[in-house]
Structure 1
């Protein structure tokens, strides 16, 4: 009988930090960090596009015995890491086009918010940049997320 491969998302993020991966947690999990009452069972990371950064993520995936799709991700801009209980999407484009402009990793990384609890830390986009990421698609979930982001931004004013 095959043993389950269970990966704790916190341990995965700790490994990103330990390996000095330049990343941003994006998507609904980022909104959860800001206190939005949402659920998501996958984790989306936008990483610096350099090959060295990608190699660190691949090393971490191997350490956790996660499946990497596609198996040779060096030439793709999106890869997915799978464990039995965890799905991680990794995006690595230098920029993404959005309505009215572009999203650049470096700019978002400079503007990031760092949430800390004890020795644990997690990097997420600023609320303004997170809002811009939701403009890359126009799904019902993204429109719902935009409402939460706008509410969070209005509370901070």
Structure 2
């Protein structure tokens, strides 16, 4: 294929191929890339009949479009959390608060941390915590109260 023939083929088929690719991949920029790739493949191909060029280009666009869709599926499956789009302000604040709570919990003595986590986050009663920890019920109350007071102070400093 001469350069002039290639240019004529490009001008004739490019809009149709971009439209075909856009219907498959869903966006214009990727569709244009796919159509360009089909013409690069045409340059590398050895075709014996000029009548097969339109069919070759269509098949190349369909195959490359499927490759793009497969790549998107795999990339989405293994994408880190941050790539899923912008987060809402409420979500960002809740994550920040969660991080602050975890940091504040780490400042507590282990016994207070266990008592407050079992009471507040696990939802156990004082009796259940006392039984589980082998403590008296009054010990659970005092550890939980001290932990809450410490957490209030820690989180007040953050806010």
TM-score, normalization by structure 2: 0.19
Q: Which has the higher helix share?
A: 2
Q: Which has the higher strand share?
A: 1
TM-score, normalization by structure 1: 0.19
Higher relative contact order (CA 8 A, sep 6+): 1
